[in-house]
Amino acid sequence: MKGRNADREALVAVVTGASRGAGKGIAEALGAAGATVYVTGRSGSAGDSPYGGTVHETARLVDEAGGHGVPLLVDHGDDAAVGRLFETVRRDHGRLDILVNNAATLVGTTLPVGFWEKPLQAADLLTVGLRSHYVASFHAAPLMIGGGRGLIVNTGHYGAVSYYHGPAYGAQKAGADKMAADMAKELRPYGVAAVSLWMGGLDTERARAHLASLPPGGAPTAKRESPLFTGRVIAALYASEELPAFSGRALIGAELGAYFGVTDVDGTAPRSLRHTLGGPPEPHPSLR
């Protein structure tokens, strides 16, 4: 792995939308890297979601992995609450190293019908899922600039360039890519990077429930990525001396993982879906 040694205390990270799913796995993986991880989400008890999971459970997993989990109930549609989150980070540490923007509102987004047949709340993904990325980054940037190094990650997907779950989902993912690119341009003089990191099909609670609902023989058989894989890739990217060269790009997690020698929890290398679902138009030269 191409890395750097930093004479400083353990990493400080914020992972939004980490009660379950991708955020949960990312937080746990950053914990394994020794990070203090602020775990945010709206679920304080298992009954808050049909898919289970809470910020407290994820924080415990961070602890068990070797880091320090800090569970915080935060509605990322509430700007004031988000401001308080980052004020807590400032008070506790005075800096922030990694922000993972993962929180998203998914109401009817994945229904296999036309957008006009989905509940109108499907468009809320453009609020908590896109605007919320901006708000969190707005508060995070000064904490990173003060430390002279930082990484903002928007969790992305191939739906940015191909049809996947409809127009609201596609707009959110494409917007997250462009937001990272433009933030990177403005942050570059301060040593802070921003990327959009595309995940493949994930083995999450929501995905398992969906696959179980399909008729016999109707579920795809391709191996799914562990959500921890993305967190491992993020940790490797932050540690790399090449971080500035990757800033501003939409990156496929499977390709970046292969570049850094990062594997999934079972030792396998997730497969890039560039040639089936499409990919960023200008991949980093090292990943071609």
Tell me if residue 38 is catalytic.
no
Angle at which helices 227-239 and 253-260 pack, to 10 degrees? 50
- What is the pairing mode between strands 12-15 and 36-41? parallel
Query: Which residues are registered as beta bridge partners of 152?
Result: 99, 194
Are the beta carbons of 245 and 170 closer than 8 angstroms? no
Largest CA distance in the chain: 55
Q: Ramachandran region of residue 15, left (φ > 0), alpha (ψ -120 to 50) or beta?
A: beta
What are the φ and ψ backbone dihedral angles of 25, each rounded to 5 degrees? Answer: -65, -40
Q: What SS3 state is found at 36?
A: strand
Set 51, 134, 163, 169: catalytic member: 169
Distance CA 40, CA 12 (A): 14
* Nearest residue to 67 (alpha-carbon basis) of 17, 32, 42, 91: 32
* Nearest residue to 144 (alpha-carbon basis) of 27, 2, 11, 29: 11
Q: Ramachandran region of residue 119, left (φ > 0), alpha (ψ -120 to 50) or beta?
A: beta
Residues 6+ apart with CB under 8 A from 4: 239, 240, 241
Query: Which residues are registered as beta bridge partners of 251?
Result: 197
Distance CA 224, CA 59 (A): 24
Distance CA 183, CA 35 (A): 24
Catalytic residue numbers, as ranges: 169
